[in-house]
Every structure is written in C-alpha cells, then in structure tokens.
Amino acid sequence: MPPRRPFAPGRSALAALAFVGAVALWLVPMLLTVWLKDDPEYRAYASDILFGQTASRYLQPTHHLKPPWYYLGVIASLWLPTSFALIWAIPHWWRGWRRGQRPARVYLPLLYVVVIVFFFSLSGGKRDVYILPALPMFVLALAPLLPGLLRKRSVQLTLFALALTLAALLTIGSLYAMFGEPAFAEKLRSMRGLDPWHMTLTMGVLGLLAAIALRPRRGALTLASTLTGIWLLYGFWVYPLINDTRSARGVMMQAGALIGPDAELGLLSWKEQNLLMADRPAKVFGFLTPRAEQELAAVAWLRAAPDKRWVMAQSMSLQGCFLIDKATVVGESNRRRWYLVNADALREQCLPHPPEAWERHNVAYH
C-alpha cells in the first residue's frame, strides 16, 4: 500500500483556482460584453444562459422528463463496455473498504461519479449527456484494476461475446433492412432521408472478421478493434451523409439557392444553427421575444420591401399570418420542416399564435 501524502492546502487552492479560471475564460468576457453594451437583449441573453438554461431547467423542467432511476440504465447501456467491469470491481472495492484499503485514487473519482449522478437524478428533466462528465472519472477509478481484470479469462470471454454480439446484430440487421421491409428501416428513411445499411453491414463484417482473427482469448482486443472500426466508419462515412439532416447546413444552403443571391432572408422561429449556417446576413426578430411579436415584426419587415425579402420559418409560425399553400418547402433538419414565404403569401388578416400554442409545439419535439 503506497504511503499517504499529507494534505497540502496550497495545492488544493491551486486546483480550485484552476477550476475558477477555466470558468472565467467564458464567463468574464460574456458579462463584460453585457455590461459594456448595456442592451436589454444582451441582459436577457445573460439571464437566460445563467439562470434559464441552468437553474430553471433543473428545478422546473418541461421536457426530457424521466424517472429517478433513468441514469442507471444509461450507465448500464451507454457506458459499455466500461460498465461491465462493475461486475468484478464492486466486490473488489467492497472487500478493500472493509479491510481499510481506501486509496484516494479510486474513491475520490468514485465519489465524483456518485455526486454527479445523484445530483442530476434529483431533477425531473434528464438527458444522457448530463452525466457524461462523470464517465472519465469512472474510468480513472477502474484504471488500477484493469491489468488484473484483463488477466481473467471470464473478462476476456465477456468482452469477446459483447464484440461478437454487436457485430452479428449489425450484420443481420443490415441484411434484413436491405432485403426485407422492416418498420425500423422505413422510419429511418423517412426521418433521415437515407439508407445506411451498406455502411452498417460493413461495420458488422469488420467486427466479425476481428472476432475470427483474434479469438475469445483476446476478447478485449476484439472489442477494441470492433469499436474502432465502427467509429472510424461512422465518422468518415456516415456523418458526412447525415450532416444535412442532423444540422441546419443543408436547409440553409437550399434556402439560399431558392431565393437567389440578391434577396434578403429573415428567420422566424429559428434555431441557432440556422443563423450560424446561413449563406448571408439574416434578419431576425428576436429569440426570446414572444412568438406573436416576432410574427408581427416579420410581416412588417416583409411589407417594407416585398420584392426582395423572404422569411424562413416552421409551419407553426406561418399559419397565423401566411397561406401555407403558397409557401415553398425548403427541407427538413433536426426533425423540423422549414418553409420559405414572401409577401405574396401574406393573409389579409394576421392572427399570430398565442404563447400556449408554441408551448405545445415545442414539447412535441422533445
């Protein structure tokens, strides 16, 4: 057992200072900009980022509502294969604790993991990414056990079985999707607009080849090879194909092509990606501004220059003031369909949507 080091207040203070400094790299410039601009919209942004997107979302969540035990399922499934090590690690940690062997390099990261998972479990709104910062600490806690675990035949067999199962599922599922008519294939085609089965089949075949070449006694290497092949193919082959449906790039490029290079573009009911990936400076009508006010402002902006201005929006923002049958479909991204309208699509009477209609609309997308 390594000798214990005395508590060093200076070193602990330096660690705390480094933590505060990392936060300050973003927080100080943001607050300084808000203070110098002295603009109500900047202050509203700061308030939303510091309180609305943190405290309010934690204490009064409106979407991603999950039961208290939700993160146990996340750890058991999405933290694979690391979570498999708990089968052997928990008894080992328990025996060490009873014997008084409590090294900080193990129990300090474990405490961090427990605190993070417990903290986010208290909120009704839960997403798997919320506890992702705990995963590296979980790996650190397991690291001292890794050499011993990899010498166990049961561990190697378990990892080999996991790799083989994953490769077999990818292979069989891909072949079924290619030559059958399963519901999951049609759903993916309608949501993403692509058939990725030749890609997933390649992933599965590579995994099967790794299993044949490396055999069960090299289960860890088999799993590592399988996962490496999957992620490399996913990153270099799949991601470029789904980028336009998983981000706003495709619809923004299409919108620019539809209205022409000389037209002005306004964004209504927009997402940050739309503004970021627009091919020209875009007019916006507020982000946290009530939707009805944004719709009225968009109508006034269109009427000021009807020959060269277009508004891009979701259908919910168009129904009150525009004729949907005169709108041009741009495309879909992030499960949302986007439309383009100009002054020709304006209704004679504009009745913008009340806040409760938008609240129902937003909940449907979470």
Are 340 and 255 in contact, with CB atoms under 8 Å apart? yes
pLDDT at 366: 36
Please report the DSSP string for 145-187 in residue order: GHHHHHT-HHHHHHHHHHHHHHHHHHHHHHHHHHHS--HHHHH
In 3-state terms, what secondary structure has residue 89?
helix
The residues that bridge with 309 in the sheet, in sequence order, are: 264
Token pair in block for residue 294: 């944004």
pLDDT at 357: 45
Phi and psi at residue 240, to the nearest 5°: -60, -30
pLDDT at 229: 93
**pTM score, two decimals?**
0.66
CA Rg value for the chain: 27
Q: What is the pLDDT along the chain (366 residues), one digit of tens a residue?
A: 455 566 567 777 888 898 889 888 988 998 898 888 888 878 888 888 888 777 888 888 887 889 999 999 999 988 988 888 888 899 988 888 888 877 888 888 999 999 999 999 999 989 989 999 999 999 999 999 888 889 999 889 999 999 999 999 999 999 998 888 788 777 766 666 667 888 899 999 999 999 999 999 999 999 999 999 999 998 888 887 777 667 788 888 989 999 999 999 999 888 888 888 888 999 998 877 788 888 888 999 999 998 899 999 888 888 888 888 888 888 877 678 899 999 898 888 777 765 544 444 443 333
In 3-state terms, what secondary structure has residue 311?
strand
Please state, in angstroms and as integers, the Cα–Cα distance from residue 85 to each residue in 91, 146, 218, 235, 353, following that order: 11, 9, 16, 27, 53
- How far apart are the C-alpha atoms of 354 and 231, rounded to whole Å? 45
- How far apart are the C-alpha atoms of 38 and 285, rounded to whole Å? 19
Please state, in angstroms and as integers, the Cα–Cα distance from residue 315 to each residue in 36, 248, 287, 327, 332, following that order: 38, 16, 17, 9, 12
The alpha carbon of residue 212 and the mean position of all alpha carbons in its chain are separated, in whole angstroms, by 35
Are 289 and 318 in contact, with CB atoms under 8 Å apart? no
In 3-state terms, what secondary structure has residue 340?
strand
- How far apart are the C-alpha atoms of 227 and 222, rounded to whole Å? 9
